[in-house]
Every structure is written in structure tokens, then in C-alpha cells.
Structure 1
Amino acid sequence: MKEPKKKKEWAEWVKAIFIAIILAFLLRTFVFATSIVEGESMVPTLEDGERVIFSKIGYLFGEPERGDIVIIKRPNKNYVKRIIALPDETIEMREHQLYINGKKLNKTFVSQDAINHTGNFGPIKVPDNSYFVMGDNRAISMDSRNGLGFIKRDTIIGKSEFVIYPFDEWKKTR
């Protein structure tokens, strides 16, 4: 009598594990994933080696916004950068001040020291369906100014939400 009960219990365990694997796969594929920050281009917001959770689902219902820290998919690696200018906007940096459509942007997202290391550029018109991104450590960041170019909407795979590793660094990334 105990034999059928054991088989039934094993079958329930196998079923539960299978469902858990399918759920984890679906969540990772469509809802959220993790990425490791490589390099120092996002210091002080994000440090080299930190692991961040990013949301994939948020941009299914809305568009990226200025200030969002996004994960950008490229053929050989993903990049973590901050959106500075939106589609069809004109961006310019002059005398250590950032301007969007001719108006000074008061929210810089970075320290004054980082701003002081950002050279003049622009004005640059961001094409439709593209974004202008920069790293928070602007003195050393490869971004829309110098290598990444404009970021197409379909290459933005998610919005960074939380640092999850190292454990003592848990924080919201916004």
C-alpha cells in the first residue's frame, strides 16, 4: 500500500519542480533579468562588478524616460547607461551646462565634478526612435558622444531597478 503513495508523492515533486522551472524561464525571458556592471562608466551610481536587476516588462507599456538607467543590447556585450535626451530632442553641452532643446537641464544626474569633465558638444538632434545616453562617470564613459552613437529603441532591453549584489550594496538605481 505504501508503494503507490510514494510514487504519487514523487510525481507531485517532479510536477512542482517542472512548473517552477517553467515559471522561472518565463519570468527571466519576459519580466526581469540580471546584468553585471562592467567598468567604471556609471560611477558613483553603479560600481564595477555590481549585479543589477532590470525590468523588461516596463517598456512594453511605456517608453524610456530621461534619467532612466537602461540596459542596451549590443552584439558582443550589454551596456548600462543613463538616458539623457529623448527622440527628436536637440542636446548640447556648453560651458559645463547641459541643454535640451535650448533649455538648461537642471537635473544633471551626476556630481558637479563629473559635469566639469564633460567637454562641449552639439547641438545634436536625436533621430526619431533613438535616444542619447551617457554614463554618470562622463570623463571615461563610452556613450552616445564617443562610440555608442544614438541608441535605437529596440536595443534597449530593460530598465535597471535594483543592485542585488554585493548584498551590502542593495539599493534602488534611480
Structure 2
Amino acid sequence: MVKELMSWLKAIVLALIIVLVVREFVMTPSVVKGTSMEPTLHDGDRIIISKLGKLERFDQIAFIAPDSIAEENYVKRIIGLPGDYLEIKDDELFVNGVSYPEVYLADVLNELEAYRYTDDFSLNDLGLTEVPAGMYFVLGDNRPDSRDSRYFGVIEEESIIGEIVFRIWPPEGIGLLN
């Protein structure tokens, strides 16, 4: 009986260690709170955050909110990488003077016609000429209702939890996010 109990205890401890290592270094689940990433992600969506891989422009990430007293996490999209100069004019994104289509906003922008979705903005508004080394500029997809780098500035690489790679809830939205 003691041997059987010890066998079970070893298996449970090993499983807990594996879960803790995976959550700390590989991936972790999370819940989207708020509407700042609509129409891509919605309040209450359950997501998987990968802590592996290189971050690229337009990746959706989770990070520790720089403007929160409680340790809240935000979900936003990387728009500016270190060394980039950013500008938004008439709902068009310019990175280092080159126009980048934001395909994830195409449906919203097509519906609006006369209404401006994203107010004109440049890094100069933050007193910057480029995104500093080790920092990122992030925006929510729901630009009129997103607290993002336009308000709190660029974020530190160390504050990034990881890239959002998979939605596990709701059932109709299950799948990879790109």
C-alpha cells in the first residue's frame, strides 16, 4: 500500500513540475479582458500565449501594463520595432516612411468611409524620433477604444509575456491566430 501511494505521489509531483516549467518557459493560458483588440479578439476570449520565438511586427502580444497599479496584463499588437519611426495619417500606417496595410482592420475601415478610425499620430507626439532599443510600440485593433502606446508610450521588451498564438474559447473562434 505504501509503495503504491509513493508511486502515485511521485507521478503527481512530476506532473506538477512539468506543468510549472511549461507555464513559466513555454506557454501559458490567459483571458482577454476588454474590447481594445476587437474585432480580432473579444472580451472573455481564452487564449494561449507562447513564450518562445522571435517577436515581429503585427504579432499580437500580452504584456504587463505599464500604467496599471495592480499587475494587469494588456493584449495589443506590435506595430513598431526598435529603430522604427511610426506615423499614422488618414488611417494609413507608415513605418520608416513606407505605407503598411493593416489587413486585420480592413473590414472596419471599409465600413467607416468618412469617419477616421485612428487619429493622426507620430512618434514625435511622444517626444521620440524612433522606437528605442529594447522597446516596442503597440496598438490595440479597436483604435477608438484602446489604451496603448499612444497614451503610455513604448513598452519594454522585458514586460512582454509572449505572443498570442491560439484561441481556445469560444468554440466558434477556436484556432490559430496570425
Where on the TM-score scale, by shorter chain, does this alignment land: which range? Answer: 0.7 to 0.9
- Could you state the TM-score of these two structures normalised by the residue count of structure 1? 0.87
After alignment, is 159-168 or 13-22 more displaced? Answer: 159-168
Bigger Rg, structure 1 or 2: 1
Superposed CA deviations along residues 113-161 of structure 1, whole A, max 9, x for unmatched, are 3583101111542122111110011111111112x31011111110101
In the alignment, does 2:89 pair up with 1:94?
yes
- The residue type paired with residue 122 of structure 1 is S
SS of match in other structure, 1:110: helix
- Could you state the TM-score of these two structures normalised by the residue count of structure 2? 0.85
Cα distance in 1 for residues equivalent to 2:108 and 2:84: 25
After alignment, is 159-168 or 78-87 more displaced? Answer: 159-168
1:88–1:126 CA contact under 8 A, matched in 2: yes
Structure 1 gaps, min length 5: 1-5
Where does 1:17-166 land on structure 2 (aligned, <5 Å)?
17-58=12-53, 62=54, 64-74=55-65, 76-111=71-106, 113-114=108-109, 116-124=116-124, 125-146=130-151, 148-166=152-170
| Count of residues in Structure 1 that have an aligned counterpart in Structure 2 | 164
Cα distance in 2 for residues equivalent to 1:128 and 1:7: 57
- The residue type paired with residue 49 of structure 1 is G
- State the shift of 1:57 in Å: 2.4
Structure 2 gaps, min length 5: 125-129
Identity of aligned residues (%): 40
- The residue type paired with residue 86 of structure 2 is I
Cα distance in 2 for residues equivalent to 1:72 and 1:43: 17
Q: Please give the root-mean-square deviation of Cα atoms over the aligned residues, in Å.
A: 1.7
Cα distance in 2 for residues equivalent to 1:48 and 1:138: 15
Cα distance in 2 for residues equivalent to 1:39 and 1:120: 24
After alignment, is 109-118 or 90-99 more displaced? Answer: 109-118
- The residue type paired with residue 66 of structure 1 is R
